[in-house]
Structure 1
C-alpha cells in the first residue's frame, strides 16, 4: 500500500490590528478552507494563543495574526490558500509563504509546484527558490515579495523530515491494533513535550498524527510508516536541532532533512546534534527578501552492503509507482 506522506505547507500572515484569525473567524470558515484542498477536520484543541486542528491529511494551526496549514496525500493545498485570499482579501494580508518538497510519487500528484505558484501569481507577486539538488531531496519555497513586511528575528520554524525509517520502527508503527498511547510512548513524547496539550489520531490501516500546543508554541508530527514509502515529519517553532538526535535514535532513517526559518546558528550548530554515522549530502542557506533566513540540510546514512532489488507486483494497480 502506497501513501504520499510528504506535506505541502502554507503560512499566511495578516495585518493583526485589522482582524484576529483566532477570535473573529469561526470554525465553519476553517472547515470550508480545509475542504478546498480535499481534506477534513477531525478534531481540535485550543488555548488562549493558538488553535490546532487535526486533519484527515495533516494539520492546521491558527493564531491571532497568522495560520499555518500542512497537507499530505493528493491534496491541492494551493486551493485553500486561494480561498483564504478570496474571502479575506489581499488588503488584510502581509505575507504568503507556500512550500513543497520532493515527493515519493510526484507523478501521482494533481499539480506540481510550478502549477501551484502560477495560480498564486494571479493574486500575489513573489519569488521562488529551490533548496537542495533537483535529483535528490529538495524543498521549493515561494514567498510574497512585499517590501512593507519584514519577519521578526525571533519568528522561527524548524522541520525534521525522516525517510525510510528502520525496519524495527516500521514494523512497530504498522502493528495491527496499535493504540495512540503506544505510539506516544514509542516516540517518547512525554519526555520531549510532556507539558504540551496533545491531540492525536491513529489512521486505518496505518499512520499517525499529533498536534501539540503550549501558549504560542506548537509541534506537529505525522507518521507514514509503510516500509516502501516510510516518512515521518516533525515541525515546530521550538528548537528541533536538539530533538532531532532523539528522533534519529528512535527512527534510524536512511536519510533525513533539516530545514529552518531564522535559526541563525543553523550552519554552525546543526552537526553538533547529528550522529557521526550520517553524512551531509546537501547544505543550502538563503536570506529571503521578507527577512527570513532559510537553512536546509540533507543527510544520508551510507549503505555499507548491497541490498536486493525490490520486487514489484505487476498485477497491482500501483506497481508503476
Structure 2
C-alpha cells in the first residue's frame, strides 16, 4: 500500500505582545486550520509552554509566539497557512516560512511547491531556495521577505530516513503492533528521557509521536512499508546527539539532515556520520531572515541492484 510520508512544513511567528497563540486562540480554531489541509486532530498534550497536536497526517505544535505544522500524504498544507493569514491581523504576523521536500511520487500530489508559493505570494512577498540537487534528495524553503530576523538560538534539526532496512520495515509493519512495542523498538525512553509523549499506531501500519518538555519538542513519523519507506525525526534539540542511534535502528539506504542556525553543522556531520554512508550533498546558506540553513544528504553505495519491477496496472499506479 502506497503512502507519501514526505512532509510539508510551515512555521508562523507572531507578535505575542499583540496575540498569544496559547491564550488567545481556541482549540476549535486549530481544528479548523488543520481541516483546511484535509487532516484531523487525533489527540493532544500540553504544558505551560506548548500545545502538541497529533494529526491524522503528522503534527501541529503551538507556542505563545509561533506555531509549527507538518503534514504528509496528499495534504495541502498551504491552505491551512492561508486560513491563518486570512483570520489574523496582518500586523500580528511577524514571519512565515514554508518548506517542502521532494516526494516519492510527486505526480500524486495535488499541488507542487511552485503552486503553493503562488498562493502564498497573494499575501506575502518572499524568497525561495532549493537545497540539494534537483535529480536527487532536495528541500525547498520559502520565507517571507521582511524585516524579521531570527534569534541565533532559534534552532531546528531534521533527520529524514529513506528505504529503511528490511528488518525494520518488517518489524514496523507487523500486524497488531502496540505503541509500547514501537517505543521499545526506537528506544524512546533512552532517546527522549523526561518527555511527555503522545503517540498513535495507524491501521494497517504507520506511527506518529509527539513529545514535549518545557519549550522543547520532538516529533517522529513513520511510513514503514517496503518500496516507499520513510521515517522523519524533528526537534529543536540537537539531533546529532541521537543520530547514530537512529541510524543503527533503521539502517536506511539514504537519509538527509537539515539544520537551522547551527554554525557547527558541517563539523558535526563530519564527526557523526560514519561508514557505510557517503556524502551526496553538503550545502548551507544564511537567508535574509537570519536563519543559517544547512542541508546534508547521504547514501550507501549500492552493491546489489534491484531487478526490473513489474507494475500493478490496476492499483493506484503512482509509479507510472
TM-score normalised over the length of structure 1: 0.98
Question: Which residue in the other structure is 1:314 paired with?
Answer: 313
8 Å contact from structure 1 (residues 9, 70) kept in 2: yes
Question: Which residue in the other structure is 2:210 paired with?
Answer: 211
Please give the secondary structure, in 2, of the residue aligned with 1:29: helix
Please give the secondary structure, in 2, of the residue aligned with 1:25: coil
Question: Which residue in the other structure is 2:102 paired with?
Answer: 102
Q: CA deviation at 1:267?
A: 1.2
Q: 2-side partners of 1:316 and 1:77: how far apart?
A: 26
Question: Which residue in the other structure is 2:116 paired with?
Answer: 116
1:9-158 alignment, distance < 5 Å: 9-147=9-147, 149-158=148-157
Q: 2-side partners of 1:210 and 1:98: how far apart?
A: 22
Q: CA deviation at 1:319?
A: 5.9
Q: Which runs of 5+ in 1 are unaligned?
A: none
Q: 2-side partners of 1:88 and 1:146: how far apart?
A: 18
Q: Deviations over 1:103-144 (max 9, x none)?
A: 001011000000000000011101000000000000000001
Q: CA deviation at 1:228?
A: 1.0
Q: 1-side partners of 2:32 and 2:313: how far apart?
A: 39
Q: Deviations over 1:130-160 (max 9, x none)?
A: 000000000000001112x110000000000
Q: Deviations over 1:50-80 (max 9, x none)?
A: 0000000000000000000000001000000
The worse-fitting range, judged by mean Cα deviation, of 306-315 and 29-38 is 306-315
Question: Which residue in the other structure is 1:178 paired with?
Answer: 177
* Number of equivalenced pairs: 320
Q: Deviations over 1:14-59 (max 9, x none)?
A: 0111111011111000000000000000000000100000000000
Task: Determine whether 1:276 maps to 2:275.
Answer: yes
Q: Deviations over 1:253-299 (max 9, x none)?
A: 00000001001100122121112210000111000000000000000
TM-score normalised over the length of structure 2: 0.98
Q: 2-side partners of 1:15 and 1:88: how far apart?
A: 11
Q: Note the aligned Cα RMSD (angstroms).
A: 0.9
8 Å contact from structure 2 (residues 107, 318) kept in 1: no
Q: CA deviation at 1:305?
A: 2.2
